[in-house]
Each structure stands twice: as C-alpha cells, then as structure tokens.
Amino acid sequence: MKLPDLPGGRVLPVVTAPASVLSATGVEVDPTDPAIVQLAADLVATMRVSPGCVGLAAPQVGVGAQVFAVDVGGHPKAVTTHGTFVLCNAKVVEASRWKAGREGCMSVPDLTGDVRRAGRVVVEAIAPGTGEPVTITTDAFEARALQHEIDHCDGKLFLDRVAGAHAIYQRKVYL
Amino acid sequence: MHELAITVIGPDRTGIVADVAEALAGLGANLTDSTMTRLRGHFAMTLICTGTSAEAAAMALEPLDGVTTTVREVSQADVAADGEPWVVSVHGADRLGIVAAVTREVAAGGGNITDLSTRLAGTLYVLIAEVDLPSGAEDELAEHLAVAASELGVDVTLRRAESEIL
C-alpha cells in the first residue's frame, strides 16, 4: 500500500503502562485534520526508530485517538504485507482462523503474553491526509498486528486478552 | 490412600528439582501433580506425592541445600471440575490490596479460582486468574469487578476462557 504524502515525522516518547491514556477509548478523528496528519507522520517516525516495533498506536505516544501505524515488512511470521501504512478510525469487519500467538508491546516492555487472534481479517478504515476509505484484507502476522493496534485505539492492551494464568511471561530482552 | 503435600522454597539455583525428585524417588514415593516456578528469583515448588510417610519425606528433604521444605499429610481431594471456565485480567498501577479486593469479589460471586499468577513489572501490577463460575453468574460478577477496579484505579476484564481442544 502506498503511504499518502505525510510531513516530516517527529520521534515521540512512548508511554508505558500503567498510564491512563492506554486504558481510555480513543476518540474518532478527522483524518484530514493537519494535526492528525502530523500525528500519523510522528507515529511512523517513532515506529521506525524503535527496534523490533511493527506497529504503534496514538495512545502509545500519549494521544487518545484512533490512529495507528503498522509495518510488518520483513518479519519472518508475516505472509501478506502492505508495507508501511497509517489508518484512522479502523474497525475489524471480518475475522476468522483464530489462533494463539505470543505478543509483546512497547507500552508493556517487561512482559509478553499468549493471545488468541484472528489469522485472517478484513479491516475498514480511513487514510490520513486524503480521507479516503481503505479496506485491508490480510492474514497471519499483519492481521495480528492490526488487531493489537485497533485494541490500543479502544483502550485495551494484550494483557486484557491473555489466554490464562500461565500465559504471561517475563521478557528477557526487548528487541 | 494418603497423599503428602510438599512445598519447597528458596533462592533459585541449578538442580533443586532434581534434588527434590531424587530424594523422594529414593523413598519409593510417587510424585503425582506438581508445579514449580520462579517468583522474583525465588524457587517455589508445590507437589503432591504418594507412597511414603510424612516423617520419611521430611527427613529425606531436610538435608537439601538452601531450601525450606514443608511436608504434611492431606486427604485425597475431590478433583471434579465445577462451573464454566472464565479468565479475569487486572492491570494497573501497583497498590496495596488489588489481589484481595479482586479475589474477594470473585469469591462473593461464587467463582472458584483454579489458577492465578501476578506480576509486578516496574510500577505495573498484573493479575491473571482462571475462574470456574456458576452458569449465568458472569454479568453480575463483571459489574462488581468493574466497581472494585474503579475504586482501585485499575483495569479489569472478565472473559470466557478459550478452549482449543482437538
């Protein structure tokens, strides 16, 4: 997917749990608002400088809004990929092929957890800048990343979905 | 049949499980259910075994290096599962009384906690509990958990446990 033209992005500090912004439902945004377009660029810039980061949502940089960036390109677990992209007001409209997998999060740097997610999703959203509707059909790792980021925009962390008492793990290193 | 409940706790080192298992095997004891984990670097193991006396097990475990052990005889427990499996997740800023308040609500709602783990990671406190709930009790428990969580300033979710049985 071609990323709409975005301004230069700023690298923002990443917020970690238990910050309240991570637990609040993000507001729907006007994707053509210049402040949202700048936020989209900032999310991409911050994601790119963060080692191992495949997605970053606005609440993670302290903004309670439904905007997130994803880039799973080159990840060994990725099958279908759409490159680097930013979505606003995204919703999962179809989900199937549920499967457990291990997730981490820059906002929960010390823990990982096993979470069941759909292995195939259809996501509808709006592109920042152009304001055009976008439909993404994807699978595997990119589908998991999208669901993780959409959860952030809804005030949820992977901790709200871990499979059981023995499904959280102390992280040894953060890639 | 008599069962023994044994706990082993101490600073973690290589070989504790092997030492415990070897000491019990030497008595002809049969190790049935057991669980072991590390809690902030402390080795912690709980196990049930059969086939030996509490006195013999205590004597065999007493010389183990650097660990504290307890042995007691217990009557065989009823292992029948009751209720429907749910998972409670709680996360938020660490403070006194999170586990007490949340588990009291679970108990008041008729829920039996079957597995529980908590983690303190920096200032973030996380509790994950697996709970068997009486059929139809979930909505009321979810409401009470939400009130307790709000008073504690933490987030709580109650959801049905996923079952993926082939």
Q: Which domain holds residue A77?
A: 20-170
The topology under which CATH files domain B84-160 is Alpha-Beta Plaits (3.30.70)
Cis-peptide into A18, omega within 30 deg: yes
Listed by start position, the domains of chain B span: 3-74, 84-160
CA atoms of B29 and B49, how far apart (whole Å): 6
To the question of whether residue A88 is assigned a binding role by annotation, the answer is no
pLDDT in tens, A156-172: 999 999 999 999 999 87
Q: Evaluate whether residue A5 is within a structural domain.
A: no
The pLDDT value recorded for residue A160 is 98
Mean pLDDT of B82-90: 94
User: Of B116, B122, B129, which is closest to A110 when you measure between CB atoms?
Assistant: B122
Mean pLDDT of B103-123: 96
The pLDDT value recorded for residue A87 is 98
User: A40, A58 in Cβ contact below 8 A?
Assistant: no
Chain A residue with minimal CA distance to B41? A170
Does pLDDT of A10 surpass 80? yes
The pLDDT value recorded for residue B77 is 77
A165 contacts in B (CB within 8 Å)? 87, 115-117, 128-130
A108 contacts in B (CB within 8 Å)? 121, 124
Q: How many domains does chain A have?
A: 1
The pLDDT value recorded for residue A174 is 55
Q: Evaluate whether residue A76 is within a structural domain.
A: yes
Q: In 10 A of CB A39, how many CB atoms?
A: 25
ipTM: 0.91
Across the interface, do A167 and B126 touch by the CB < 8 Å criterion? no
pLDDT in tens, B15-58: 999 999 999 999 999 999 999 999 999 999 999 999 999 999 99
Across the interface, do B87 and A162 touch by the CB < 8 Å criterion? yes
Contacts of residues A49-56 at CB distance under 8 Å and 24 or more positions apart, as own/partner, are A49/A11, A50/A14, A50/A106, A51/A174, A51/A175, A52/A174, A52/A175, A53/A106, A54/A141, A54/A145, A55/A145, A55/A146, A55/A148, A55/A149, A56/A14, A56/A106, A56/A149
Query: Can you give the CATH number for the domain in which A33 is found?
Result: 3.90.45.10
Across the interface, do A160 and B91 touch by the CB < 8 Å criterion? yes
User: Of B126, B159, B162, which is closest to A111 when you measure between CB atoms?
Assistant: B126
Q: What is the pTM of this model?
A: 0.92
Q: How confident is the model at residue B1 (pLDDT cuts 50, 70, 90)?
A: low
pLDDT in tens, A135-149: 999 999 999 999 999
Q: In B87-107, which positions are buried (b, 16+ CB within 10 angstroms) versus exposed (e)?
A: bbbbbbbeeeebeebbbebbe
pLDDT in tens, A75-123: 999 999 999 999 999 999 999 999 999 999 999 999 999 999 999 999 9
Does pLDDT of A8 surpass 80? yes
For chain A, what is the mean pLDDT?
A: 95
Q: How confident is the model at residue B149 (pLDDT cuts 50, 70, 90)?
A: very high
pLDDT in tens, A22-75: 999 999 999 999 999 999 999 999 999 999 999 999 999 999 999 999 999 989
Q: Evaluate whether residue A124 is within a structural domain.
A: yes
Across the interface, do A160 and B162 touch by the CB < 8 Å criterion? no
Q: Which of A110, A111, A151, A159 to mutate to test the interface with B (most CBs of B within 10 A)?
A: A159
| Residue A163 distance to chain B (closest CA, Å) | 7
Q: Which of B52-56, B80-84, B89-93 has the least mean pLDDT?
A: B80-84
Going by the DSSP 8-state scheme, the letter that residue B106 receives in this structure is: H
| String of DSSP letters for B52-95 | S-HHHHHHHHTT-TT-EEEEEEEPPPP----SEEEEEEEEEE--
Q: Kindly state whether A120 is in contact with chain B, defined as any CB-CB distance less than 8 angstroms.
A: no
Q: On the CB side of A156, how many CA atoms lie within 13 Å of its CA?
A: 14
Mean pLDDT of B57-86: 90
Across the interface, do B128 and A165 touch by the CB < 8 Å criterion? yes
User: Of B119, B125, B161, which is closest to A164 when you measure between CB atoms?
Assistant: B161
CATH code for the domain defined by B3-74 = 3.30.70.260
User: A1, A130 in Cβ contact below 8 A?
Assistant: no
Do the domains spanning B3-74 and B84-160 agree at the CATH topology level? Answer: yes
Mean pLDDT of B106-124: 96
| Percent of the residues in chain A that have a pLDDT greater than 70, as a whole number | 98
| String of DSSP letters for A49-65 | HSTT--EEEGGGGT--B
Write the CA distances from B54 to A48, A57, A152, B68, integer angstroms.
Answer: 60, 56, 52, 15
Q: Evaluate whether residue A123 is within a structural domain.
A: yes
| String of DSSP letters for A129-143 | TT--EEEEEEEHHHH
| Residue A166 distance to chain B (closest CA, Å) | 7
